[in-house]
Each structure stands twice: as structure tokens, then as C-alpha cells.
Structure 1
Amino acid sequence: MRHQPLLELADCRAIVAASHQAADQLEASVSIAVVDSGGHLLLMERRDGASPASAEAAIAKARMASLNGKPTAAMEASINSDRPALLQLAGLLGQPAAAMAGGLPLLQDGICIGAIGISGMTPELDSAIAAAGVSALS
């Protein structure tokens, strides 16, 4: 039997705080979402000026990264090049999930324990802010 580590609320708060710090430096109006390994929302914050749509997109990006254990930017690149069939994956999951840059898995000892999703800016800025959040976990 394998024992899987779980995210705690304190972990989620640290991840979100690090993301806020990066967003402050980049003057970014984004939404930040953290989900568990099953893609269930644990914590979400929409920064001042971030669009309501960015909140839903952040959750969907985090969910996709968590359920696949992969960065969503890589999935988006595959869809845009040689794997358009991956577009069907969101429909198969039975819940909103988006293969758009800005979602990163949260890994502990090689096991995906959840993910962070950022939405509201460019793919590069969303990804950079997500990476700052991931760094708070280690």
C-alpha cells in the first residue's frame, strides 16, 4: 500500500502568498487557484482587477495540471502542434479543465498532490506566477 502526502490549508496559503508576491512584482491582475490531487478546489483568490472569467480559468488550469500531473503549457503546445486530440481530454474529465499555460502540478517525492492554476495575464506571466507558487511548497 502506498501512502500519499496531502496538501494542508497552511500549504495552500503559502503557495497563494508566494503567487501574490510574484504577481505584485509583475503588477499582474490574476486569479490564483490551488486544487488537490483529485482536482478539487482547496483555495482560490481573485486579485483586485482580475476578471471574473480568470477565476474560472485558474481553477480549470489547476484541475487539468493536477489530474494529469503535467504542466498545462506542455499540453497546450501539444494541442497546437501534433496532438489536437488532447482537446477531447477536458470533456472526458467530466468537470471544467483547461489545457492552457498557467497550470503546474504540485509534486512531493514524485507524486502529484495537487496543482496551482493562474489566469488573467499572458501565458508567460501566468506560468511565472504559478512557478513562484510551486516554489513555496519545497
Structure 2
Amino acid sequence: MQMIPCLDLADSEAIVFSALQTAERSGSQVSIAVVDGAGLLIRFSRIDGASAASVEAAMAKARTAALTGKDSAAAEQAIASGRLALLSLQGVLHQPCALMAGGLVLRSQGVVVGAIGVSGMTPDQDLAIARAGADCFALRVQDCSS
């Protein structure tokens, strides 16, 4: 039997906390979703004032990244390059917002263990906030393997 790493609640809470700190420093009103490797929600947070649309968008970006193993913006680029078959993936790209920047894959030991999705601001701002959460997770993984 193989042992595979997985994202746990403590990891997801640290990821969201780091992303929230970055969002609050910049005055960003966003929703933040962390999903496991199957794209199922583990942790979610919505900053006061974040739009209702950002809730579903954050989850869609995270789900897309987890299920494709690529950051959500990569799906947009692939489709723009002609890989239209991606549009038919069930449960992945069911919302156009799933193709925008802000969904980042989380890996441990080379395995996709989940993803973070952020929505509510511009794609670059969403990506920067998601990056803070992903960087926090990378540090946690590095500390565990040391």
C-alpha cells in the first residue's frame, strides 16, 4: 500500500490565514477557498464586503487547479491556444471564472494535495493573494521534510 500526502485542516487554516493577511494589507475584498486533491472544499473565508459572485468563483478556481493539476490561469491559456476539449471536463470548468488567475495548485512530495482559489479583485490581485497562501503551504511542507 502506498502512503500519499494529504492536505489537513491545520494546513488549510494556515493557508487561508496567510492569504487573509495579504488581502487585508491591500484592502482587498475577496473570497478564499482551499480544496483537497479531489477538489472538495476544506476551508473557506469571505472578507466582509466581498461580492457574492466571488464565493463561487473562488471555489471554481481552486477546484480547477486541483483537478487539472495546473494553476487556473493555465486552463485559460490552453483553451485560448485551441485545447477546447478542456471545456467539456465535468466538475472542472463549469464556470467561466474557473479559467481566471487566482487558482493555484498545492503539492507535497510531488503529489497534488489540493489548491487555493481567490476571487473578488483583479486577476493579478487575486493571484498575489493566492500566492501568499500557497507560499505559506510550501514553507509548511519544507519544515515537515527537514
By the TM > 0.5 criterion, same fold? yes
| 5+ long unaligned stretches in structure 2 | 140-146
1:126 is aligned to 126
The alignment of Structure 1 onto Structure 2 pairs a total of residues equal to: 136
Equivalent position of 2:82 in the other structure: 82
Aligned residue number for residue 66 of structure 1: 66
- 1:93 maps to 91
How do residues 1-138 of structure 1 correspond to structure 2 at under 5 angstroms?
A: 1-89=1-89, 92-93=90-91, 96=94, 98-137=98-137, 138=139
Q: Which amino acid aligns with 1:93?
A: G
Gaps of 5+ in 1: none
TM-score w.r.t. the length of structure 1 is 0.91
RMSD: 1.7
**TM-score, normalisation: structure 2:** 0.86
Q: Residues 28 and 94 of structure 1: is their aligned pair in 2 closer, same or farther, counting only changes over 3 Å? A: closer
Distance (Å, rounded) in 2 between the aligned partners of 1:71 and 1:42: 18
**Secondary structure, counterpart of 1:118 in structure 2:** strand
Deviations 1:45-65 (A, max 9, x none): 110110111011101110110
CA–CA distance in 2 between the matches of 1:12 and 1:40? Answer: 12
Aligned residues with identical type, % of pairs = 52
